[in-house]
Amino acid sequence: MTKNTERKTWVSRLLRDRGGNFGMMTALVFPVMLAAGGVAIDLTTMVMKKAELQDAADAAALAAASALANDGKSISEAKVIAMSFLKTQMSGSTKEEEEKAKTEGTSGSDGNENGVEEYDFDASTVVEIIETALVGNGKSFKVNVSTSYEMKFNPFTRLLGQTKTTMNAASSAESATESKNALSMFLVLDKSGSMAWITNEKDAAVKSCINWTESNWGNTKTKATSPCYVSKMAALKLAVASLFTQFKAADPTDTFVRTGTIAYDSVSYTPSALAWGFTSSLDYVNKLDANGGTASGAAMKTAYNRLKEASENTAHRDKNGQVPTKYIVLMTDGDNNNTADDTSTKATCTSAKNDGMEVYTVAFMAPTRGQNLLKDCASSASHYFQAENMAALVAAFKVIGERTSAVVSRLTK
């Protein structure tokens, strides 16, 4: 009895003794706490890595799209650029990991000597580029970049049985090259005697000259006077040069623009043929002198007929593959000597507009009848210009150049 009683007492004391509970609980809970701490650290790292990966994908897509549109890179070259940007963007965070590993003095059997594995982006990244032809000679590009990054968990998180996770990112960017449309333009210019008359603009380069006006025109006894004023013909030459400057900027290689010019006074003169660029037309204009009466009918018809010839479309198709937009620019500073020329000019303007051509008109210090003729001929009110001085004339031709060259060179995106 005594021995049994002592044994029961010993067992009771053992059961009542709680001195080792903390040690056992610690042994059970501590790994869980370590794992929870590891998860918290890895979750923070995952959020940062995900943001870095998305930023890298965005940069890669934008770099490739820009290279295609602005630098003329091929699709294969753009893919290399995208991959390079992706790796460069992600290399910064990788270096931070390496430095951290060095500081902690860790190394891993599944990584490099510093415990940080160099990730294979070439195997995990897809760069897709879709090219689409635009109206004209332009192209649009859509760049799609998709990639992934495998992040290894720290040893504490691995206590839960998970060793790594894979994060994905995708990005798209679009760009386009310039889209240039072809055009053909014919200038129909008044070179009548009144074009020798002066404007209100002084010519500072000349001390004195014969300043022709309506009152002294043709008088052989007229003498040079001072100051010298710029003639309407000189102003016209400057204005035409201003128009062509717009073409030079838009089409420096003379691939999309063809121009021709015809002058008239009381008769129609041999035109400069439609040719690439504007050199021939500008030379033609610079050689003009002022003389004779005014008859615009035949010159207008010649310009229209030259533009509508099938050979004009063929010339563009063979060089740039397009059907050109066609323009006529009619300028006068006076009235036609015969109303029959008004009728003929209006009829040609109507035919041109019906055929899809655009007609611009410029009345340069012209009387009312001349103004009305050009208003009727213009494709719209915005296609008509009334210039009462040299500055307005130059401005009118510049605007025409800006509008038409905007068709030649247009940035699509």
- What is the DSSP secondary structure assignment for residue 192, as one 8-state letter? -
Q: Where are the alpha helices (DSSP H) in 177-223?
A: none
The pLDDT, as a whole number, for residue 360 is 98
The pLDDT, as a whole number, for residue 37 is 59
Apex 362 CA angle, 359 and 363, nearest 5: 135
The pLDDT, as a whole number, for residue 410 is 43
Whether the predicted model's global pTM rises above the 0.85 cut = no
* pLDDT per position as a tens digit, 58-87: 999 999 988 888 788 999 999 999 999 898
Band of the pLDDT at 405, cuts 50, 70, 90? confident
Band of the pLDDT at 5, cuts 50, 70, 90? low
Would you call 24 exposed, middle or buried from its count of C-beta atoms within 10 A (0-12, 13-18, 19+)?
Answer: exposed
31 vs 227: which has the higher pLDDT: 227
- Asked if residue 262 lies in contact with residue 268, where contact means CB atoms within 8 angstroms, the answer is yes
Over 60: is that where the pLDDT of 368 sits? yes
Distance, in Å, from the CA atom of 350 to the CA atom of 373, rounded to the nearest integer, reads: 12
Band of the pLDDT at 181, cuts 50, 70, 90? confident
The pLDDT, as a whole number, for residue 164 is 87
CA atoms within a 13 Å half-sphere pointing along the CA-CB vector of 185: 29
Residues 6+ apart with CB under 8 A from 234: 203
Over 60: is that where the pLDDT of 30 sits? no
149 vs 192: which has the higher pLDDT: 192
* pLDDT per position as a tens digit, 223-280: 999 999 999 999 999 999 999 999 998 899 999 999 999 999 999 999 999 999 999 9
3-state secondary structure string, 240-298? HHHHHHHHHHHCCCCCCEEEEEEEECCCECCCEEEEEECHHHHHHHHCCCCCCCCCCHH
Peptide bond before 227: cis, by omega within 30 degrees of 0? yes
Mean pLDDT, range 386-390, rounded to an integer: 96
Band of the pLDDT at 407, cuts 50, 70, 90? low
Distance, in Å, from the CA atom of 366 to the CA atom of 375, rounded to the nearest integer, reads: 12
Distance, in Å, from the CA atom of 136 to the CA atom of 411, rounded to the nearest integer, reads: 11
The helix (run of H) or strand (run of E) holding residue 310 is helix 310-320
Nearest in space to 249 (alpha carbons), one of 50, 30, 401: 401
The pLDDT, as a whole number, for residue 116 is 42
What proportion of the chain, given as a percentage, has pLDDT over 70? Answer: 80
* pLDDT per position as a tens digit, 122-179: 888 999 999 988 655 678 889 999 999 888 888 777 777 778 888 899 999 988 776 6
Mean pLDDT, range 176-197, rounded to an integer: 90
Band of the pLDDT at 15, cuts 50, 70, 90? low
Q: Name all domains of the chain by residue range, CATH numbers in brackets.
A: 26-107+114-177 (no CATH), 183-411 (3.40.50.410)
Over 70: is that where the pLDDT of 409 sits? no
Distance, in Å, from the CA atom of 363 to the CA atom of 373, rounded to the nearest integer, reads: 9
Mean pLDDT, range 34-62, rounded to an integer: 80
Mean pLDDT, range 2-29, rounded to an integer: 55
Distance, in Å, from the CA atom of 362 to the CA atom of 364, rounded to the nearest integer, reads: 6
Residue 258 pairs in a beta bridge with 184, 277
Residue 276 pairs in a beta bridge with 258
Mean pLDDT, range 306-335, rounded to an integer: 95
The three-state secondary structure class of 218 is coil
The helix (run of H) or strand (run of E) holding residue 325 is strand 325-332
The pLDDT, as a whole number, for residue 151 is 87
- What is the DSSP secondary structure assignment for residue 225, as one 8-state letter? B
The pLDDT, as a whole number, for residue 102 is 54
Mean pLDDT, range 21-33, rounded to an integer: 52
Distance, in Å, from the CA atom of 173 to the CA atom of 86, rounded to the nearest integer, reads: 14
Lowest-confidence region among 23-37, 205-219, 309-323, 327-341 = 23-37
Residues 6+ apart with CB under 8 A from 69: 141, 175, 176, 177, 413
Band of the pLDDT at 111, cuts 50, 70, 90? very low
The pLDDT, as a whole number, for residue 171 is 94
